[in-house]
Chain A
Amino acid sequence: MNLDLRIPMGLMFLIVGGIMSVFGFFTRGSVIYERSVGMNINLIWGLVMLAFGLVMFLLGRASDKRAAAEPIEGTNRPLGGHGHGMGH
C-alpha cells in the first residue's frame, strides 16, 4: 500500500496537540483546571501529543522517501498440497 499511515496520523496529532497547547497556553491559571487537580492538562498533554505527532510524521516521511519497497508476498517455506479455494 502506498499510503504510510504515520503521515496522516502524525498530522492529526500535530493539529490536535497544537490546538490543545495553544488553548492551554491562553487559559493558564483559569478555574477550569480545578477539575484536573490544578494541572494545566491542556498545555501539558497538548505538548505531549505535538511531540508524538511530529515523530510519527517524520518517521512516515522518511520511510516514504525510501519507498523503493518491493512488494513481497507469500511465505518463507514451501506451500504444500493443493491450490484450490482461490477464487481468482
Chain B
Amino acid sequence: MNLTFIDWLIMLLYFAFVLGIGFALKRFMRTSKDFFQAGRSLPAWICGLAFISANLGAQEVIGMGASGAKYGIATSHFYWIGAIPAMIFVGVFMMPFYYGSKARSVPEFLRLRFDEKTRAYNACSFAVMTVFSSGISMYAMARLIQTLHVFDSAFLKFNLPLGWIFHFAIIISALIVLGYIFLGGLTSAIYNEVLQFFLIVAGFLPLVWVGLKNVGGWSGLKAALPVAYTHSWRGMTNAHNNPLGVEWFGLSMGLGFVLSFGYWCTDFLVIQTAMATDSEESARRVPLIAAIPKMFFPFLVILPGLIAIATPAITQHAMLRSAPGLNTPAVPPAANDLSDPTKYSKGLIPAKVNPVTGKVMTDEHGKPLLDYDLAIPNMLLHYFPTGILGLGLTALLASFMSGMAGNVTAFNTVWTYDLYQSYIHKNASDTHYLKMGRWATVGGILLSMATAYAVTSFNNIMDTLQLVFSFVNAPLFATFLLGMFWKRTTGHAAFTGLVSGTVAAVIHHGLTLPADAHPGIHGGWIAVVHTYPSEMAQNFWTAIWAFSTNFILTVVISLMTKPRPESELVGLVYSLTPKPVEHHMAWYARPKVIAVGLIALLIALNLTFR
C-alpha cells in the first residue's frame, strides 16, 4: 500500500483529537461517578450514537462486509431482525428499571433484583469476556495493519524489522485507548465513540457511493450478482434453500429473540452508555435514537461486501502478497493450479492462501476458499485515491478502537464496583475507587494485550473464546425478562436457571454438528445426534435451547422457593413500579411513538429488500 503524506496527516490528526478529548475531560473527573458513569449528565443523542458505536468493533465492520460478500443482503437480518426489535424493547420497557433503580452497572441491577450470587456470577463472567473481546479486537486490528502493509514503508524508511509491525500496532492501539480512558473515563470513551461513529460514516459513505457508481447503481449491482444476493427473505421457509442455511423460525427465535435481546438488553457494554444520560427519559430515548442509524448501517457496511463481489477485478491487490517478515516464505513457483491465487479470486475478494505453502486453501470438496474478510479493506484500496484513502483507513482503525474502548470502560466499572468494592475492599473513600478505576483501566488493557498475544500463539483460541461467550450469553435474557416482568421470580431460581442455561448450551453444542464439519470445536464432541445445515443454524438453536432451559427452570424453582416481599421490589419489577409519566412530552418525543415509527420503518425496509 502506498500511503502519502496527506494520508498520514489525516490519521495523525485523528489520533491527536482522540487524545486531546481525553486531556480536555481530565479536569472534570472529580468523583468515581464522573469517571465510571460520565456523571450521569450526557445528552441522549450523544449516548445514542455511542450505544451503536460501542458495538461497532472489528466484528461489525470487517465481519459484516465479509458476510455481505458471502451471503448478500440477507446479512441485514443481523440488523433488522437481530438488533432493532431488541433496541426498541430495551428503550421502551427495560431502561426504566436499569436507570431508575440507581444501579451503577448491569450486575449491580441483578444484585438489587435477585441476590449476591447471581451478581457475582454475572460480574465475573462479564469481566472476563470484556477483556477477551477487547484483546480479540486488538489482535484483529494488528493483523489488518500487517496485511494491508500500512506501516511497511515507514518501517523500511527507519530501517526497522518488518516483524515488529504487529507489536507496534498492538502497543500503539493499547496506548491510545488507555490514554483517553485513563484521562477521561466513560465520558471520554463515549465522546470518542461518537467521533468514531461520524468518522466511520464519513469514510464509508463515499466508498459505497463510488462503488455503486462504478457497478452501475443498484440496478447494475442486482444485474451483476446472483438473485439471492439482493433478496433477504428468499428461500427462508426451508433451511436448505437459502445461503444462510437457517429457516425463518430459527432466524427469528434464535437470532431475533434470544441472541439479540440477550445482547442489546443485558450487555453492560451497550447499556452503560444509556445509563450515562442525564435523566430516565433520556436513557429510554438512547436505544431508540441508536436504532435509526443502526437500521441504515447495512447500506454502509454490508453493501461494500456486495459491491466487492460485483466489481470487475483489474488489478492485483496488495494483500495477495503475504506479509513479509512473518512466517511466510516466498510463494513457490507455479507447480499446479492452486499456486496461482489470482485465478480463484471473485471480484475484489482474493482466494485464501495458506501462509506456509503459498497455495490456495480449499474446502473438503476441493473448492477454493475465499478470504471474505478482505472485502472492505480491498474496497478501500480499490476505490480510494490518496487523501480520502487516509480517511477510510482511519475510519477502519477507529472502528477497532471503539470496540476496544467500550469493553475497557465496561470492565473497569464492573471490576471496581461489582468485584473490588463488593468483595475485596468495602467502604473505602470515593477517591480510592476513582483511583482503582484508573488502574483497572491499565489492568484491563494489559489483559487485552495478553489475550491478543495468546490468540497469535494458539490457533483455535479465538473460536474457542467466542464459543464460550455464546454459551454464557445465550441464557441471559430469560433471567432479565423474568426478573423484570414477573415479581414471583426468586434469586435462587435466577442463579440456578442461569447456570443450567449455560450447561444446556454446552450440551446442545456437544450433541449437534453443522453439515460438512468434523466433531470437535464445531460441535458433536459428545455424540452427534442431530446435524444442522449450517453453523449459523446450530448457533441459533444452541441459544434457543439455553434460553428455554433457563426460562423453564427459573419459573419452576421460583414457584418452589420463597418470594421476596413486594415492598422490596418497587422500582425493579414492572407490575410494582409506577409507570413513567409521558404526557408532558411532545407527542413525537414519547418513547412509544418513536417505537411505533421505528417498527413501521423496519417493516418497510424488509418489504423493499424481501
A residues with a Cβ closer than 8 A to B are: 1-3, 5, 8-9, 11-13, 15-16, 19-20, 23-24, 27, 30, 32-33, 35-37, 39, 41-42, 44-46, 49, 52, 71-88
Binary contact track B73-99/A, C-beta < 8 Å → 1, others 0: 000000000000000000000001001
Contact B32 A76 (CB under 8 A): no
In the A-B complex, list the 7 residue pairs whose CB atoms are closest, starting with the nearest. A80-B570, A32-B385, A75-B280, A80-B571, A42-B387, A81-B570, A12-B17
For B14, B20, B388, B391, the residue with the greatest tally of chain A CB atoms inside 10 Å of its CB is B388
Q: Which residue from B103, B202, B576, B584 sits with its C-beta under 8 Å from A13?
A: B202
B108 — which chain A residues lie within 8 A by C-beta? 85
A62 CB, nearest partner CB in chain B, Å: 14
A5 — which chain B residues lie within 8 A by C-beta? 21, 46, 191, 194-195
Given A3-B24, A8-B20, are A79 and B9 also a contact pair (CB < 8 Å)?
no
B40 at the interface (CB under 8 A from A): yes
Contact A75 B41 (CB under 8 A): no
B540 CB, nearest partner CB in chain A, Å: 36
Contact A1 B102 (CB under 8 A): no
Given A12-B195, A77-B581, A80-B570, are A41 and B21 also a contact pair (CB < 8 Å)?
no
Given A13-B202, A16-B10, A81-B568, are A86 and B102 also a contact pair (CB < 8 Å)?
yes
Number of A-B contacts (CB under 8 A): 153
Contact B17 A76 (CB under 8 A): no
Given A16-B10, A76-B280, are A41 and B388 also a contact pair (CB < 8 Å)?
yes
Apart from A12-B17, A45-B388, 9 more pairs, CB < 8 Å: A1-B28, A1-B39, A9-B194, A9-B195, A9-B198, A19-B13, A39-B210, A75-B96, A85-B104
Contact B202 A49 (CB under 8 A): yes
B112 at the interface (CB under 8 A from A): yes
B421 at the interface (CB under 8 A from A): yes
B42 at the interface (CB under 8 A from A): yes
Contact A74 B279 (CB under 8 A): yes
Contact B100 A77 (CB under 8 A): yes
B128 at the interface (CB under 8 A from A): no
B582, closest chain A residue (CB): A76
* CA of A85 to CA of B281, assembled, Å: 22
Contact A85 B111 (CB under 8 A): yes
28 contacts between A and B (CB under 8 A): A1-B39, A1-B42, A2-B28, A5-B46, A8-B21, A8-B191, A12-B14, A35-B383, A36-B384, A36-B388, A37-B213, A41-B384, A41-B385, A44-B206, A45-B202, A73-B41, A73-B278, A74-B280, A75-B100, A75-B580, A77-B100, A77-B580, A78-B578, A80-B578, A81-B570, A81-B572, A87-B417, A87-B433
* CA of A52 to CA of B195, assembled, Å: 13
A67 CB, nearest partner CB in chain B, Å: 13
B442 at the interface (CB under 8 A from A): no
B310 CB, nearest partner CB in chain A, Å: 14
A64 CB, nearest partner CB in chain B, Å: 13
B202, closest chain A residue (CB): A49
Contact B213 A39 (CB under 8 A): yes
* CA of A27 to CA of B6, assembled, Å: 12
B31 — which chain A residues lie within 8 A by C-beta? 88
A40, closest chain B residue (CB): B385
Contact A1 B10 (CB under 8 A): no
B104 — which chain A residues lie within 8 A by C-beta? 85-86
Contact B581 A76 (CB under 8 A): yes
* CA of A78 to CA of B50, assembled, Å: 28
A-contacting residues, B565-590, CB 8 Å? 567-572, 576-581, 584
* CA of A47 to CA of B191, assembled, Å: 24
* CA of A73 to CA of B280, assembled, Å: 9
Contact B383 A36 (CB under 8 A): yes
B386 at the interface (CB under 8 A from A): yes
Given A8-B17, A9-B198, A81-B567, are A88 and B40 also a contact pair (CB < 8 Å)?
no
A32 — which chain B residues lie within 8 A by C-beta? 385-387
* CA of A59 to CA of B46, assembled, Å: 14
Q: Which residue from B214, B280, B281, B391 sits with its C-beta under 8 Å from A16?
A: B391
B70 at the interface (CB under 8 A from A): no
B580, closest chain A residue (CB): A77
A37 — which chain B residues lie within 8 A by C-beta? 210, 213-214, 383
* CA of A83 to CA of B570, assembled, Å: 11
B21, closest chain A residue (CB): A8
* CA of A86 to CA of B111, assembled, Å: 12
Q: Which residue from A20, A30, A71 sits with its C-beta under 8 Å from B278?
A: A71
A-contacting residues, B397-447, CB 8 Å? 417, 421, 430, 433
A84 — which chain B residues lie within 8 A by C-beta? 112
A59 CB, nearest partner CB in chain B, Å: 11
Contact B24 A8 (CB under 8 A): yes
B108 CB, nearest partner CB in chain A, Å: 6
* CA of A24 to CA of B385, assembled, Å: 10
Contact B102 A85 (CB under 8 A): yes
Binary contact track B579-607/A, C-beta < 8 Å → 1, others 0: 11100100000000000000000000000
* CA of A67 to CA of B276, assembled, Å: 19
Contact A16 B13 (CB under 8 A): yes
Contact A85 B103 (CB under 8 A): yes
* CA of A87 to CA of B436, assembled, Å: 14
Contact B213 A20 (CB under 8 A): no
B20 CB, nearest partner CB in chain A, Å: 7
B263 CB, nearest partner CB in chain A, Å: 24
Given A12-B195, A85-B102, are A42 and B385 also a contact pair (CB < 8 Å)?
yes
B195 — which chain A residues lie within 8 A by C-beta? 5, 8-9, 12
B210, closest chain A residue (CB): A36
B413 CB, nearest partner CB in chain A, Å: 12
